[in-house]
Amino acid sequence: MRPRLVSVAAAALAVVGLTATEGAARADALLVTGAGATFPYPLYAKWFSEYNNLRPEYRFNYQPIGSGGGIKQLIARTVDFGATDAPMSDEELRRAPSIVHLPLVAGAVAVVYNDVPDGLRLDAETLAAIFMGAITRWDDPRLVALNPGLALPAQPIVVVHRSDGSGTTRVLSDYLSKVSPSWRAAIGTGKSVRWPVGVGMKGNEGVTSAVKSIPCAIGYVELAYARQSRLPVAALRNRSGAFVRPSLEAVGQAATAVELPADLRVSLTDAPAWGAYPISAFTYLLVEREQTRADRGEALVSFLWWALHDGQKLAAPLDYVPLPAAVVTQVEAAVRRITVGGRTLLARPL
């Protein structure tokens, strides 16, 4: 049976507790458009609503179409900003060298499942084997060995994955490529990969809805979607050998365990900290370093400064991790380098 899908806007508004009316802005406000990742959309919906309450002269219209689509639209300059959970590749940046990566929060890609008792534990090879179709039943001996005492059903596993170009897929496949030689050799890393098995769905909300409605399904979504849908999440064995569930603390350990390079592009997967959740990621807003319109550039810089400071307080209630202080300092410096006509758009508090 085809699963019933909820709209991404409705899903995000439900997560943040907004109604469509409350999310609206005044008609004469300056419109700033963006597109990209569904991973951070629950938080972005809250941020844009809160910021519009503070600055009603600005209205942000963000379309959660997936990281790949957001990057394409920004490169084509059909939007003012993009968003992605995975940094742009060197090849993508060669096509658009002036794009700046700005991490705004960190989050987790949770492995969610249905019709299996809570408490599931997986390691890198079993997770890779499930998504590659090498483990096809919940009562496979390898899963039983990892989960003593858990009543795993004698049922086939139904894999649910993303069908669109997805930063969430990029983060998951980056992790599996690091820790599973079989995955690295057969599938590799990308926003879109050649899935050997499974049902493809669009967006985090599509995967969430499908896993929830398909018996014995397994998939991967951003933690906020898992929490809001009340789907159980698997504990994954991290590099230190500990089984860790996605949580704010576990993602925070991953975020503080890495050093950001000058361009701020970094992977948090398979972090070395003892309690780190292994499929963690920064989520990035992408902007042109040289803005073409002063009014929209000023609106973007003003919002970014607010998001880096007051907006961080809204992250944890929606299952995202605020940036470590050292990262905030680096992102502030990047925001201050955004210009229009060679003139710096100085970020400042409200």
Q: Do domains 8-107+281-344 and 109-256 have the same CATH topology?
A: yes
Superfamily of domain 8-107+281-344: Periplasmic binding protein-like II (3.40.190.10)
Q: 248 near 321, Cβ under 8 Å?
A: yes
Q: Strand pairing of 339-340 and 290-291?
A: parallel
Listed range (13-22, 94-103, 197-206) with the worst mean pLDDT: 13-22
Q: Which residues are CB-contacts of 162 (< 8 A; sequence separation ≥ 6)? A: 66, 168, 169, 192, 200, 201, 202, 203, 206, 207
Nearest to 146 by CA among 155, 160, 135: 135
Q: Which residues are CB-contacts of 344 (< 8 A; sequence separation ≥ 6)? A: 336, 337, 338
Supply the DSSP symbol for 322.
Answer: P
Nearest to 324 by CA among 271, 255, 223, 254: 255
217: left (phi over 0), alpha (psi -120 to 50) or beta: beta
Q: 74 near 66, Cβ under 8 Å?
A: no
pLDDT of residue 182 exceeding 90, the answer is: yes
Task: Give residue 345's pLDDT.
Answer: 84
Task: Give residue 108's pLDDT.
Answer: 97
Could you tell me the residue ranges of all domains in the chain? 8-107+281-344, 109-256
Q: What does the alpha-carbon distance between residue 129 and residue 180 come to, in Å, rounded to a whole number? A: 9
- Residue 8 — pLDDT band, cuts 50, 70, 90? very low
Structural fold of domain 109-256: D-Maltodextrin-Binding Protein; domain 2 (3.40.190)
Q: pTM surpassing 0.85?
A: yes
Arithmetic mean of pLDDT, 99-124: 97
Q: What is the pLDDT of residues 292-304, one digit of tens each?
A: 999 999 999 999 9
Q: Please state, in angstroms and as integers, the Cα–Cα distance from residue 171 to each residue in 20, 78, 237, 273, 319, following that order.
A: 31, 26, 17, 18, 17
Arithmetic mean of pLDDT, 182-194: 96
| Residue type (1 letter), 46 | K
Q: What is the pLDDT of residues 138-166, one digit of tens each?
A: 999 999 999 999 999 999 999 999 999 99
Q: What does the alpha-carbon distance between residue 124 and residue 55 come to, in Å, rounded to a whole number? A: 46
Q: What share of the chain is helix, strand, coil (3-state, %, to 5)?
A: 40, 20, 40
Nearest to 36 by CA among 204, 245, 212: 204
Q: Which residues are CB-contacts of 262 (< 8 A; sequence separation ≥ 6)? A: none
pLDDT of residue 290 exceeding 50, the answer is: yes
Q: Strand pairing of 81-84 and 30-36?
A: parallel
Q: Please state, in angstroms and as integers, the Cα–Cα distance from residue 114 to each residue in 111, 148, 152, following that order.
A: 11, 19, 11
Q: 296 near 32, Cβ under 8 Å?
A: yes
Tokens of 167: 């930063």
Q: Strand pairing of 199-201 and 158-162?
A: parallel
Q: What is the pLDDT of residues 11-50, one digit of tens each?
A: 444 444 443 334 444 668 899 999 999 999 999 999 999 9
